[in-house]
Chain A
Amino acid sequence: MIEVRDLHVRRGDKTIIDGCSFAVHSSGVLVILGANGVGKTTLLNTMIGVLKPYRGHMEIGGKIGFVPQLFEVAFSYSVMDIALMGRVRHIGLFGSPGTRDFAVVRRFLALLGIEYLENRVFNELSGGQRQMVMIAQALSSECDILILDEPCAALDYRNQKVVIDVLRSLSRDHGITIVFTTHVPQHAVEIASHVLLMNSAVSYLSGTAETVLSESNLSALYKVPIGRAQFAGSGKFTYAPLFHHEEVRHEP
């Protein structure tokens, strides 16, 4: 369970987050949408405790595992080396991974279906595979809440589906609360129980996907006209930017 009320975060003299509120129940999925530079990463960094809130209330019921944006590491670590790093909270300052740590990591590699990658070099994997390894690293901390910073950025459609399916299964079958940021409203349509739109420093909108993801809200969010269409079969919505429209049209 996560509950955030009237959260303010500052960096130096600059207010990055100004009165943000939202809540997610246990095993829920919160999807955060917002333009570049609006403070999505700052919000995640505050939730994981790297940044301190300036003011406001934040209640996080459970241990957090964090998956940063895709990156390359400076050295040729194996997948096992990388995933083991998630165990650091269970290993003392001067310790190193033991039998139990290896067992926990192997369990999560298997859960994500990537146990066959164990001895591969992390940097030589595809973006999708690296993302799965980073999720395994976060899960290996034995967390209740998984927070991911743009887990689908730089992934092709197939790998986006793989990641979304894994997140759905973690929430539904393993009771893990999921929070992630994305630029694709479709990800929210697929799995979100809650959506948070971060519009600018002072306007936050949260609710279910159906209520929050209107054409006007998204058009205002991205400052580009966004069209919405409904699939006849599933009844699900899909969204697309209409780059050829010149002005943003606001629905009443």
Chain B
Amino acid sequence: MSDTTKKAPLARRALFPLLLGLLLLTILYSVTIGRYDLQVRDVALILWDNISPSQAPSWTKLEETVVELVRLPRVLAAVLIGFGLAVSGGALQGLFRNPLVDPGIIGVTAGAGFGGTLAILLGIHGYMLLAIAFCFGIGSVVLVKFLASVRGRTSILTLVLAGVVISAFFSAAISIAKLLADPFQKLPAITYWLMGSIASTHYGDVLLLAIAVIPATILIFLLRFQINILSLGEEKARALGTPVVLVQWLILIATAMISAGIVAISGIIGWVGLVMPHVARAFVGADHSRMLPVAGIIGAIYLLLVDNLARTVTTAEIPLGIITALIGVPVFAIILRRMHSKGGWSND
């Protein structure tokens, strides 16, 4: 776009490269954290070595292994999870015309959670567990959409209600599964998996996450202008000429892909998808073409910091879902009060 089309202030135009730089620094810093002490400079050199190999490396083989095989996959997973949750939360808030929505609302989180629980209960591990969790997540969204559709049209209210119903159903199913589980081995496994952790992530997981998150976020970003229009309401969107049902389906499927993939790898991590879009809107306004990328990057930085906290605060790792809730709830309460004092969520 030429300069005449957008007179965005310098601060706003500089924000995106600034955030990208910050993300890169946070990634490098996050790799240094752990029992084996490393400096940001060492990490940068070790990683740069992959692009342009050095003749006389200044680091040990052990350091290289720690950086590239132990810590980097986990860090990349955190980036993908934070990015995916924030983008899908932002897209759903637009679709639902409601800034208080997160990916949990369409039933995908509880559905995928039940899929994973069922797999653990049946003694299934590894990629089969991921596949089952993923399929249940996608399946529950399709179920929600069909439940909410009357004569080919879906009202947002019925979509929310169907999401609540399906989520409640799968939550109950998770409880039953826990009740049936062997309390010494399977119950702890289910509980820890649901609470969310990326402690033992390897490159295979990162690849699966990337497959679930990247194409879907690209699809959401391509639909950025349509999301703006849908956020006015279905009737108005239809009158303006948007293919409402098609866009609703595409966004639901894309966000379900992201959420189901994330739950499958890392368990249920709440509050990121709800809070990050608000932070992004405060910086760049509501237009989804600016808000979604910024929300994604802020989400990635945020989840990296949360994961750093998770593995440093105590000797035992704290599940990510607990920390995101502990931070997310007060932040959300502040946002809610601010919106309320300004006379509704329209002026956030």
Picked from B223, B224, B236, B286, the residue with its CB within 8 Å of the CB of A75 is: B286
Interface flag for A85 (CB, 8 Å): yes
B34 contact set on A, CB distance < 8 A: none
Contact A123/B347 with A77-B286, A93-B226 known, Cβ cut-off 8 Å: yes
A85 contact set on B, CB distance < 8 A: 228-229, 232, 240
Assembled-state Cα–Cα distance A88/B224 (Å): 12
B223, chain A: closest CB distance, angstroms: 7
Interface flag for B98 (CB, 8 Å): yes
A138, chain B: closest CB distance, angstroms: 9
Contact A76/B289 with A50-B239, A85-B232, A93-B223 known, Cβ cut-off 8 Å: no
B328, chain A: closest CB distance, angstroms: 20
Assembled-state Cα–Cα distance A95/B235 (Å): 21
| Chain B residues with a Cβ closer than 8 Å to the other chain, count | 40
CB pair B347–A74 under 8 Å, yes or no, is: no
**B-facing residues in A123-160 (Cβ within 8 Å):** 123-124, 141
Which among A71, A96, A124 has the greatest number of chain B C-beta atoms within 10 A? A96
Interface flag for B238 (CB, 8 Å): yes
**A-facing residues in B189-237 (Cβ within 8 Å):** 222-226, 228-229, 231-233, 235-236
CB pair B287–A74 under 8 Å, yes or no, is: no
CB pair A76–B348 under 8 Å, yes or no, is: yes
Contact A88/B347 with A75-B99, A75-B286, A78-B285 known, Cβ cut-off 8 Å: no
| Chain A residues with a Cβ closer than 8 Å to the other chain, count | 33
Interface flag for A98 (CB, 8 Å): yes
CB pair A74–B98 under 8 Å, yes or no, is: yes
CB pair B285–A77 under 8 Å, yes or no, is: yes
Interface flag for B2 (CB, 8 Å): yes
CB pair A81–B228 under 8 Å, yes or no, is: yes
**B-facing residues in A60-85 (Cβ within 8 Å):** 66, 68, 71-78, 81, 85
Interface flag for A22 (CB, 8 Å): no
CB pair A99–B1 under 8 Å, yes or no, is: yes
CB pair B99–A88 under 8 Å, yes or no, is: no
A104, chain B: closest CB distance, angstroms: 11
B1 contact set on A, CB distance < 8 A: 98-99, 102
Picked from A75, A78, A97, A141, the residue with its CB within 8 Å of the CB of B225 is: A97
Interface flag for A14 (CB, 8 Å): no
Contact A68/B235 with A77-B287, A78-B285 known, Cβ cut-off 8 Å: yes
CB pair A96–B225 under 8 Å, yes or no, is: yes
Q: Show 22 A/B contacts (Cβ-Cβ < 8 Å), sorted by A.
A: A45-B239, A50-B235, A50-B239, A68-B235, A71-B233, A72-B344, A72-B346, A73-B232, A74-B345, A75-B281, A76-B346, A77-B228, A77-B287, A78-B286, A81-B286, A88-B241, A91-B225, A93-B222, A95-B225, A99-B5, A102-B5, A141-B241
4 closest pairs, A vs B, by CB?
A: A75-B286, A94-B222, A102-B5, A89-B241
